[in-house]
Amino acid sequence: MPSAPDVHPGSLRSELRATLALAAPAVAQSLLQTLVFLADRFFLGRFSADALAAMQIAGPLTWTLQSVFGAFATGTLALVGRAVGARDPALAGSALRASVGIAVLLGAAVGLAGTLGLHALVGALAGAASSPVREAAIGYLGVVLPAMPVLFVAMVCTTALQASGDTRTPLAIALVTNAVNLGLNGLLIFGNLGCPRLGARGAAIANVTALSVEMLLGLAALADVRRPASLRGAPWTGTVAALRRLAAVSTGAFAERAIYHAGYLVFVRITNGLGAAPMAAHQALLSMESVSFLSADGFGVAAGARAAQRLGAGDAVGARRAGWIATGASTAIVGVVAMALWAGAPFVLAATLTSPTAVRAGLDAMLPCALAQVPMAASIVLLQSLRGAGATREAFAIALAGSFVVRIAATWACVDVLHLGLAGVWFGSGADWLVRMLLAVWRWRRGRWSRTRV
């Protein structure tokens, strides 16, 4: 990726060290999340093909609700990061309190609405899924949806810690909560040690329990008045003003994610029309892709936090440099990971899937899956850099072009016109990531984001 030509090499090395110091714990935390994701899918795949296929319904829906309605966390990243960069603990604390308040109220509303409309949501996404697959998805979502307030507050705590430059505490919390999740999965999915045999519902209970622990530990960490962003110590008088600023910054992020996930759910509906075996194979490939996705997301955390902090300190050149360096490091690492995943795909798919038909479908789609990894990594980091800078409207425009237009059109053409099956799904996904990468590079190079008011 290009870098600013007027930057001294020593400054580049210094920024690289700072970015890696911030990114390494975030990447490790993301990889821990990947481990849990892989373990969930592995356990469910060994439990039954129906339980694993159900995650192709429940997983996208849960992720969509988390991402779209958790868009206010983008405002948390931008506002807390700038406040920390400007050494303004009062603003940082006010923004944090406002974010937690939004998380509780919005999470309760989303959880209630999702629970009431549970059967309609599953029916809309199920496609060709069988009754056992639908029932497993309903069992999973019936536990997860009421816990949306817990999920949103945990998300705010992690974002605030990262925005203030602390990625080690979220990593430590992740170590604890992931151990809880993995242990309960082994007990509740299969009914070990006298526990009930709950399948997908057991996985949901394990996930919600781990999220509750994550939320409590995050709130405890942010209650420390010595932190640059703390729930205590700052005056309450600035909370309403911080709430307005959070809403202004988060509007673009909300629109971006709503558009992206509207397109993504159409994409999921096309995928689910392929049948149970391709659905299970798609979940296995997503598990493998998550290693790349969450690695890139860790660098995106570092890039967004560094961009926000540098802009808060009045250093636009440093913010630009942070974005390029994080993007270059992320794409280099993800490129190596993609090659390793492609080479190891036959072994991973055979270990994860019990159906030979599903294994064949996964192998057919592995090449386009691997090719999409590098543009995916670059677009994730640069878009997070834009969000950290507060340029959420630019990120929205890119999401509109990539995910809502390109992904749907390309996937439909590859699946329904060219009849490429699951491989066509991944060609459509790759086309989306490529377009988003090109647009994100263009917008980051132009630099208008550095003049965004937060």
For residue 279, which of 453, 83, 82, 52 has the smallest C-alpha distance? 52
Q: What is the pLDDT along the chain (454 residues), one digit of tens a residue?
A: 433 434 445 567 777 787 778 888 887 887 777 677 677 777 887 788 788 888 878 888 887 888 887 787 888 888 898 899 888 988 899 989 999 999 999 999 999 999 999 988 888 877 667 788 888 889 999 999 999 999 999 999 999 998 898 989 999 999 999 899 989 988 998 988 888 888 889 999 999 999 999 999 999 999 999 899 899 877 777 788 888 888 888 877 787 778 777 777 788 788 878 887 888 888 788 878 888 887 898 899 889 888 998 898 889 988 998 999 999 999 999 999 899 989 998 988 888 787 889 899 999 999 999 999 999 999 999 999 998 888 888 888 887 888 778 988 999 999 999 999 999 999 999 999 999 999 999 999 998 888 877 7
Q: What is the pLDDT of residue 128?
A: 65
Q: What is the pLDDT of residue 372?
A: 93
For residue 382, which of 435, 333, 327, 429 has the smallest C-alpha distance? 327
- The Cα 319–Cα 236 span in angstroms is 30
3-class DSSP string for 280-312: HHHHHHHHHHHHHHHHHHHHHHHHHHHHHHHHH
Cβ-based burial of 225 (10 A; exposed 0-12, middle 13-18, buried ≥19): exposed
Enter the DSSP assignment of 354.
S
Q: What is the pLDDT of residue 100?
A: 93
For residues 176 and 217, the answer to whether their CB atoms sit within 8 Å is yes
Domain extent listing, the chain: 9-451
Q: What is the pLDDT of residue 3?
A: 39
Cα-Cα end-to-end distance for the chain: 27
Q: What is the pLDDT of residue 6?
A: 44
- Residue entry with tokens 């808060």: 312
- Compute the chain's Rg from CA coordinates: 21
Please say whether the dihedral angle defined by the alpha carbons of residues 403, 408, 411 and 414, taken in this order, is positive or negative: negative
CA 439 to chain centre: 20
Structure tokens at 339: 């090659």
